[in-house]
């Protein structure tokens, strides 16, 4: 059986080969899922689909939340206090938060990447640093760069990747987890203390990573193994 991975889409513009407005996902996510033996199913973040979130998640074998723009601070009980916030799309926040909450409720395997780990934390009651420049001396230290990741040896992430220090971990974010949601456990961090990986304390396979494993998965085995383990847990 091929694992069916629900991948919420993003509203896009200027797509080639379609008429009018469009929606899409990052191709590298679907390629990594395909290499692992699964297939991604992209669903548009439409208000009408909010009514069917439970059925969408139930009919899927797992859920992947991809990267993207920032989450509206109102979603975690704060007002906007940073000029660095960008890319807020209400439709993305509403649909992805609903999907994450439902995936956790149904105990579906979930892999949440970059914006995804932040969304997972917010969905379960945590908060975010609105901009890492507010708490780090180097505002650019996590923006389009590679840096070491340290993983707890007994974590799902380390076991999946076969490493406590995965190679070629591409960091491309300016926000990160601040207050950790009660049901999450930190299992990975950067040298500066920024949270890089979390896992749900009671669900069978709910994992969030702050870096972009899909960017190097085609050429780097430990990054691909994260997708392999995720898809494997989506099986019967």
Which residues belong to the active site? 114, 212, 214
| 8 Å CB contact between 192 and 155 | no
Q: What are phi and psi of 47, to 5 degrees?
A: -55, -35
Share of the chain residues as helix, strand and coil, in percent rounded to the nearest 5? 30, 20, 45
- Phi-psi bin for 148: left (phi > 0), alpha (psi -120 to 50), beta? beta
CA 132 to chain centre: 18
Question: How many of the other CB atoms lie within 10 Å of CB of 58?
Answer: 13
Q: 229, exposed or middle or buried, with CB in 10 Å at 0-12, 13-18, 19+?
A: buried
User: Token match 């080639």: residue?
Assistant: 16
Instruction: For residue 146, give the 3-state DSSP assignment.
Output: strand
CA 5 to chain centre: 13
Question: How many of the other CB atoms lie within 10 Å of CB of 102?
Answer: 19
């Amino acid at each position: 059986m091929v694992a069916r991975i629900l991948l919420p889409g993003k509203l896009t513009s200027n797509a080639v080969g379609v008429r009018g407005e469009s929606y899409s996902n990052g191709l590298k996510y679907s390629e990594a899922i395909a290499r692992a033996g699964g297939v991604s199913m992209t669903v548009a973040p439409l208000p009408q689909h909010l009514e069917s979130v439970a059925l969408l998640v139930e009919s899927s074998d797992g859920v992947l939340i991809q990267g993207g723009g920032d989450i509206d601070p109102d979603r975690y009980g704060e007002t906007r206090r940073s000029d660095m916030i960008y890319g807020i799309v209400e439709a993305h926040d509403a649909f992805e938060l609903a999907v994450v909450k439902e995936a956790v409720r149904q105990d579906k395997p979930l892999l949440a990447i970059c914006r995804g780990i932040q969304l997972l934390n917010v969905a379960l009651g945590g908060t975010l640093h609105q901009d890492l420049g507010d708490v780090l001396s180097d505002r650019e230290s996590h923006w389009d760069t590679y840096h070491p990741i340290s993983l707890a040896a007994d974590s799902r992430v380390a076991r999946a990747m076969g490493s406590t220090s995965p190679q070629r971990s591409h960091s491309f974010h300016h926000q990160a987890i601040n207050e950790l949601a009660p049901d999450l456990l930190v299992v990975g961090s950067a040298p500066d203390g920024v949270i890089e990986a979390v896992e749900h304390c009671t669900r069978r396979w709910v994992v969030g990573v702050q870096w972009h494993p899909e960017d190097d998965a085609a050429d780097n085995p430990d990054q691909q193994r994260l997708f392999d383990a995720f898809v494997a847990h989506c099986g019967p």
